[in-house]
Chain A
Amino acid sequence: MEGQGEEKRINRRKFFRTGAQAGVLVSLGGITALVARKTGSGEFVWQLDPTKCTQCGRCATSCVKNPSAVKCVHVYAMCGYCDLCGGYFLPETKTLNTGAENQLCPTKAIKRTFIEDPFFQYSIDEELCIGCGKCVKGCDAFGNGSLQLQVRQNICDNCNECSIARVCPSDAYSRVPADKPYLLNGFGKEKLDIT
């Protein structure tokens, strides 16, 4: 009986040792698989559909990132390059210049550059953009809808449960394949070089 007990203790030790080794191996394998999945085409990321978005402002305030991972993206091919840009100017602006009192963007994230009379180019400074969507709303109401909100994948943590998706009133958020991470709307989106 004693001999059998000795053998059992040894076996248990062996069992735990082997189990620990197996656990480490499984963990490593799991991590490797996760890494492979993350870099592979089978992964999904969060994105918002501009056709459903109502620019409610929650993207700016509900993201776990501060400032939000949602940014305004400009589909240049759709833009009218208007002097009176509804995405740049406050609705009742009478003088179209770059004065702070005229700008719709609360963080001055849109840069307006004269091209030739009467056309102007508008570019987004993502460092400053907080994803409030005010410019998108203005562009939708006034122009062609070339300004659109998107989750920028280089900033997004891709949370398991996106905190913006939880509160989005128009159900605009969904998981999309990581190899096609953007859901821009309208023509010319294919020409945009965004990652």
Chain B
Amino acid sequence: MTLTRKHIFRYIPYVFIVLAIGVVTWWFLYNPVKSLSLAEPGLDNRTVDPARASETVCIGEFFEYFGDVASIPGTRWPRFRGADLDNISKERIPLIDSWGASGPKILWKLELGEGHAAPAVYDGKLYLLDYNETLKRDALRCLSLETGEELWRRSYSVHLKRNHGLSRTVPAVTENYVVTIGPRCQVMCVERKTGDLLWGIDLEKEYGVEVPFWYTGQCPLISDDTAIIAVGGSSLMIGVDCRSGNIAWKTPNPNGWKMSHASVMPMTFKGKKMYLYPAIGGVCGISADGPDRGDILWENQEFSPSVIAPSPVVLDKGRIFLTAGYGYGGAVMQLKEQQGKFSTEIIQKYKPTEGLASEQQTPIYYNGHLLAIMPKDAGGLRNQFVSFHPDDCRKVLMKSGKTERFGLGPYIIADGKIFILNDDGEMTIAKLSTSKFTVLDQAQIIDGQDSWGPIAITGGYLLMRDSKQLVCIDIKAD
């Protein structure tokens, strides 16, 4: 058959139809994302440690008694940040301005398990929740403040692996009770004088708490013989009667917020007592008294870092200073009340390069100013000791300067001076001021590392630690 022009024109539409069908088929079958793979949970093959999952912790199971010493009434640093929770010693004992020609007067040293847990002091006795790495036990150790001699020890087995330190909390101590929170969220209450076990709560088992990264950093609070614990599991916060261990109240956790490294701070606003807590998920105020005790008065999710170590700082006029490290920055929250209802507003919020922030330690509110060490990601102010006014947390009023930079270590005010501990165990004494930073003296107390545990000062004694040892220094002025 001869292919004529007529034939060709007749077949052209069919050719186009076949081509169109082919193109449409290809279009349907072509998968432009076939080379991509889904990023979904579980690709890291995370598993639960079977030993840990099946472990039952018998809180307070062991007790050892070693001896006793006389009390020293009045020597008290009874909890994290002291009795007034402000990290300012109000004692009228003259303290040294310099370390002197012979250097720091170190009274005693004690080897500890690795960590950042710091002591509380009550009437000449020191209480510290250590971790015994050999026996794998959380151990509440009672020591003599003057000699460091161990008086008794209440402990329990709990399996931990090194994870940027082990222990990291400060006990809460009153006349009758000592309350501790261990690295894996075991809460324990004992009689202060005897070490007798009163009760224990395993927050991980009983409340489904997710243990924070690098273990628990929250320091317990005792208020009116009730232990206040931020849970962040099936309950957001609980109040536990110290004598009986009964749960006095529970706060529901409707948002599923998690436990952070910050500690609960009490606050009174417009006559209403409340507990502040920056959880992983948001900040809240929980009623501390009255018929609504334990209820959530307000919550705010605008300040919501993934890690929070510094505790909230209660300012004046219903303002609260909040900060977190790792690039997050700081914020000032304004609390408002109208006809018994509370609300909040973030009135300042900024990155660490723009204003006051802290990574690990809680800033000190002194004389209307906030004092802190800036984090390493704060640009030119990195690691400098600074002062800001809460009205404008972007405007630095004092800085220690390029030659005086510090680390993640603690700082405390006592007798008109600021004692600042560097990561490596160097202690600086600076003149207390919010406008000018003046170094009085510096000394290498120990050849340490990660000296991050909070400092305690009472009775002219200064207690500090690095990751492995506790040191007591006599800082009374001659």
Contact = CB atoms under 8 A, between A and B. Distances in A.
18 contacts: A82-B213, A86-B326, A91-B326, A91-B327, A92-B304, A92-B305, A92-B328, A94-B306, A95-B41, A97-B41, A98-B42, A98-B43, A99-B41, A114-B46, A114-B47, A116-B49, A118-B163, A142-B326
Interface in B307-332: 307, 326-328
Contacts of A116: 49, 161
A108 B39 contact: yes
B25 interface: no
A100 to B, nearest CB: 4
Contact of A94 (B45, B47, B164, B280): B280
A169 B1 CA distance: 76
Given A116-B49, A120-B44, A141-B376, 9 more contacts: A86-B326, A91-B306, A94-B280, A94-B306, A98-B42, A113-B44, A113-B45, A117-B47, A141-B326
A186 B52 CA distance: 34
Main secondary structure of the interface of B (DSSP, over half): loop
Nearest to A142: B326
A89 B327 CA distance: 13
A80 B450 CA distance: 15
Interface of A: 80, 82-84, 86, 89, 91-95, 97-100, 103, 108, 112-114, 116-118, 120, 138, 140-142
Nearest to B377: A141
A113 B163 CA distance: 17
Contacts of B376: 141
Interface of B: 37-49, 52, 161, 163-164, 213, 258, 280-281, 304-307, 326-328, 376-377
Contacts of A84: 213, 306-307
A106 to B, nearest CB: 11
Contact of B49 (A108, A117, A140): A117
A103 B327 contact: no
Q: Which of B41, B52, B376 has the largest number of chain A CB atoms within 10 A? A: B41
Given A84-B213, A118-B213, A142 B42 contact: no
Contacts of B213: 82-84, 118
Nearest to B164: A80
Contact of A100 (B40, B49, B306, B327): B40
Q: Which of A114, A117, A138, A142 has the largest number of chain B CB atoms within 10 A? A: A117
B258 A94 contact: yes
Q: Which of B40, B44, B304 has the largest number of chain A CB atoms within 10 A? A: B44
Contacts of A140: 377
B275 to A, nearest CB: 22
A86 B327 CA distance: 10
B165 to A, nearest CB: 12
Given A117-B49, A118-B163, A97 B42 contact: yes
Given A117-B161, A118-B163, A99 B46 contact: no
A139 B242 CA distance: 42
Contacts of B37: 108
B422 to A, nearest CB: 19
A92 B47 CA distance: 23
Contacts of B39: 98-100, 103, 108
A80 B38 CA distance: 27
